[in-house]
Chains A and B, each alone.
Chain A
Amino acid sequence: MSELELRELQDTEFPIPEDLQNTIAITSLSRLYSWSRRSSLWPMLFGLACCAIEMIGTAASRFDFSRFGMEVMRATPRQADLMIVSGTVTKKMIVPIVRLYNQMPEPKYVLAMGACASGGGPFKEGYSVVSGVDKYIPTDVYVPGCPPTPQALLHGLITLQKLIDGQSLARMDDVPWYGVGPSEPAPVPILGPDIIDPRQMELIRQQAERAALGAGKAAERAALGAGKAAERALPDVIVASNTRGLEAPETVGTAATGVAESEAADGEDPEKARRIAKRLEARARLAARRAAKQGGA
């Protein structure tokens, strides 16, 4: 461990004599834990599109992200703790991506590299393109660019390191993996006539019912109207796909996610229900804290 890192770790609460600072540091377990985790992030060797080329460029000798601890890229999700979604996510590809995400051991992070992975990018309007990977899996860091330069990706990775630094073992409700029991896997979408998010089954059923009553897709489209968003009333449900992470919208726990959870809670497993209740409670606390923080600022 180098001198510099020791000083980084040192907790200022416990002063250490100047001449010992190069050899001793007193710190919390949580901080040491986060520090070691963020200093050895193993990204998954997983390229999707153009951004993958820049990701390889970042890994290569000129930019070399192993300088920051992303030493090895692992081809298997089971050995990786960071998924760099490097490129356009298509409906056909989101299914394996969610599966891969579920196979990664916790703690795990997702970095959306480039415009496509963040929100669909130039291909957003495409019929088989998913407008952002965060529609299906929670995303921690978004790196803009098309493609982001290696410098931008490095900046994104360092941002992620800072994020990990801020996570604490002591605050159990901060991130799902410090809570009780294993967290729920992300629901794997299904390829039907179009991609189906299992969390939206109820919504799809409702639409089908409405269609049966005569208000078909065409009528719905006319009601919503194209290109006049400003005058149009928002649909009553905006899906919150981000259930954790720094960019979580304030609408956390809206109808769609609520549906999935209430369905799960109806099940016989009381342990599971208790876990879910606890998580919802934690989430509410988190939202309250964030609101308080915003109010203060």
Chain B
Amino acid sequence: MTEVVAEAKGPEREENLNTAEAGYQSLKERFPDAVSDDAREGYSGILVDATHLPEVATAIRDELGYDYLSSATAVDHLGLEGECLEMVYHAYRTSGGPALVFKAQTDRSAAEIPSVTPVWPGADFQEREAWDLFGIQFPGHPNLKRILLWEGFDGHPLRKDWREPYYEEEHKPFDSRWPGGKVFRAEETNLFGKNVQYPDDFDLGQLADVSDEALYSGLGLGVNVEPLANGSSNGLQTDTIVVNMGPHHPSTHGVFRMVTELRGETIHSLEPVMGYLHRNHEKIGERNAWLHNMPFTDRLDYISSMGNNLGYALAVEQLMSRGARYKAPPYRAEVIRVLMAELTRIVNHLWAVGFLLNDLGAFFTPMLYANNTREKILDVFEAAAGSRLMCNYMRFGGVYKDIPERLRSVANLVNDKIRDLDFMQFLGELVRDAIPRAIDELDDLLTENEILRTRCEGVGILPAETAIAYSTAGPLLRASGVAYDVRRAEPYSIYPDLDFAVCTRPNGDIYDRYLIRIDEMRESVKILKQILPLLEQTAGQEIMPGGKPGAYMPRVPVGEAYGRVENPKGELGYYVVSAGDPKGPQNPWRYHIRATSFINLTVLGTLCQGHKVADVVTILGSIDIVLGEVDR
């Protein structure tokens, strides 16, 4: 079976490589002065001279057809070859195929790279993030402010020479913990007993919290006399009003904040404000060893932890595959991975549909229906991985453990007894019966519901071109009629062998975004039904190469890799760079997460314009974000 897969994948991959190569070649011919190969060991793509970036980017989009900018992120090469700050862009064609990778470098002391937002508006938040965390200026960016931290924060924390208040060492495991270290409270090392540090020249007399001021500047705060004096067309004297929603708001799906400027009840402009759950995944990820990051990925999109695991495993496996002793994951591991990933998709979409109804005002009742089936799937996760939510299940080269024989659940004791069920039987009933029934039930109750249709049809329309330009992904993109699914566009794992359709809906409104989730759940059930016999056929086979558990500190060759998966919320990518010191500790040099929820929010402001306040909540619900992933 494994050989068949390899054959099916082989030629396709080669051909795709050629198309990317052809793209690089034509760019080098067209811009001989500005474009050169990235010749560093383990790196791919082209280096673009920063001053020529706008022209090259336009050519990449218009002439080569790479219309979709998946990821734009920065890397600090302090102490590495060619010490500089570097922006890395991954562009794709929505028709499928591999990435065109291009990079622009800039000096660390006066970091400045022209913005690509005029070419791909989807780079908006990502460039703001690069400014916030790396301190790269982007001339041409319409709204270059800090995004995850607050205005006034001291420094740009993802620069390699910036140290956090609880800094101990560059790499884990820290000496203080292992081997033979003594555990201490990090608070004891800090003068303030807290996770804080202040600059030496900090003057308390000058203390002012400017974060909100900076946010509101540009929005019409207070009474604006001009429109009052002129009056509007119907003779009424009106003014806009700024309304703040969040970060504590029951409908913002977490600690998300929106600042809206209203004309009456109509949204004139809306600005998403985030960072209230910025947990420094990337800085911590650079201190961690490669495997340490696996449980951290769980906590990104905490509703679909299995999918996050898979993306990270794929990215690191891509790097490891360049090593001599690398062995690909065994077939059974791939089957289990797909099983978990698709169950995750169903979990996520049940949750999303339930919460969309919450946002429509059906407070928690549909949610309870959706959650019932979700709980059963969580039982499967708990039995396999040991945890309901934070599964930490995948490893580089396979999965942590084979699926168990029995499913024992302590939740909902039956007559005070722990439920002890046959795992495969439970899973089979779930896939063949319970999940399809739950989907049908939601469909029956909701799809033709008059209130739902009136509230959702024609609201928050996202045209296909805008969806692509703003780098939206997942159900949001496909509900706008773009059949782009990483599982088909750049297949991974055993997806090429599986029979499933990439669902699309033509209208791009909230209703279509609801329908597409129902469609996708049905397709996932279809995949799961194909997975069940494969699980039985491969029973007893190894789940890690050679049947051994994966290395605790795997050696990862030098280079960069971008691994991506179709997570329930859309494309989840991991950009990892290994500086690979063969003797020293093995840690990622850069660990970047291309978070779907974060990038999908770029379009929120545009999407809400002209709608009513009540619709904003529903539009946000239909995008389906999770703050762990937005803020990271």
Contact = CB atoms under 8 A, between A and B. Distances in A.
B612 interface: no
A197 B195 CA distance: 11
B43 interface: no
A217 B200 contact: yes
Interface string A255-271: 01000000000000000
Contact of A47 (B168, B201, B254, B296): B254
Interface stretch (A14-22, A30-38, A224-232): A224-232
B422 to A, nearest CB: 21
A131 B186 contact: yes
Interface string A136-163: 0000000000110111000000000000
Given A49-B628, A147-B389, A190-B209, A61 B247 contact: no
A253 interface: no
A43 to B, nearest CB: 12
Contact of A127 (B164, B199, B275, B368): B164
Nearest to B368: A61
Given A229-B176, A229-B182, A127 B250 contact: no
A46 B410 CA distance: 27
Contact of A227 (B169, B190, B280, B388): B169
Given A62-B371, A126-B279, A126-B280, A135 B194 contact: yes
Contacts of A60: 367-368, 371, 375
B192 A230 contact: no
Interface in B150-188: 150, 152-154, 157, 164-169, 174-176, 181-182, 184-188
B202 interface: yes
A87 interface: yes
Contact of A129 (B199, B255, B279, B411): B279
Given A100-B248, A127-B157, A229-B184, A151 B410 contact: yes
A281 interface: no
Given A50-B390, A92-B149, A125-B287, A220 B276 contact: no
A125 B190 CA distance: 12
B31 to A, nearest CB: 39
B371 A93 contact: no
Nearest to B150: A191
Contact of B276 (A93, A126, A235): A93
B186 A227 contact: no
A213 to B, nearest CB: 11
Contacts of A49: 254-255, 277, 279, 299, 302, 627-628
Contacts, number: 225
A196 B56 CA distance: 45
A98 to B, nearest CB: 12
A229 B411 CA distance: 42
Contact of A53 (B196, B275, B303, B372): B303
B191 A62 contact: no
Contacts of A201: 204
Interface in A119-134: 120, 122-131
B194 A131 contact: yes
A185 to B, nearest CB: 17
A232 B184 CA distance: 11
B195 A196 contact: no
B197 A194 contact: yes
Interface string A72-95: 000100000000000110111100
Contacts of B186: 124-125, 131
A239 B208 CA distance: 24
Nearest to A229: B184
B611 interface: no
Contacts of B628: 49-50
Nearest to A99: B248
Interface in B379-434: 388-390, 410-412
A243 interface: no
A196 B207 contact: yes
Contact of B389 (A53, A192, A200, A207): A53
Nearest to A45: B250
A56 B367 CA distance: 10
A238 interface: yes
Nearest to A236: B191
B152 A131 contact: no
Interface string B299-310: 100110000000
A68 interface: no
B538 interface: no
B152 A193 contact: yes
Given A54-B389, A151-B411, A200-B192, A122 B166 contact: no
B193 interface: yes
A87 B148 CA distance: 17
Contact of B372 (A62, A220, A237): A62
B224 interface: no
A193 B390 contact: no
Nearest to A217: B200
**Of B181, B192, B207, B628, most A-chain CB atoms within 10 Å:** B192
Contact of A122 (B182, B199, B295): B295
A228 B211 contact: no
B371 A191 contact: no
Contacts of A166: none
Nearest to A215: B200
A194 B165 contact: yes
B372 A61 contact: yes
23 contacts: A47-B255, A48-B254, A50-B299, A50-B628, A53-B303, A56-B367, A60-B371, A60-B375, A61-B368, A63-B411, A92-B150, A96-B248, A125-B186, A126-B280, A127-B280, A128-B157, A135-B194, A151-B411, A197-B194, A204-B204, A207-B191, A227-B174, A235-B190
Given A61-B372, A203-B192, A234-B188, 10 more contacts: A50-B628, A53-B303, A92-B275, A96-B276, A131-B187, A151-B410, A193-B153, A200-B194, A224-B191, A227-B174
Nearest 7 interchain pairs by C-beta: A229-B184, A126-B280, A193-B154, A50-B302, A127-B164, A239-B193, A211-B200
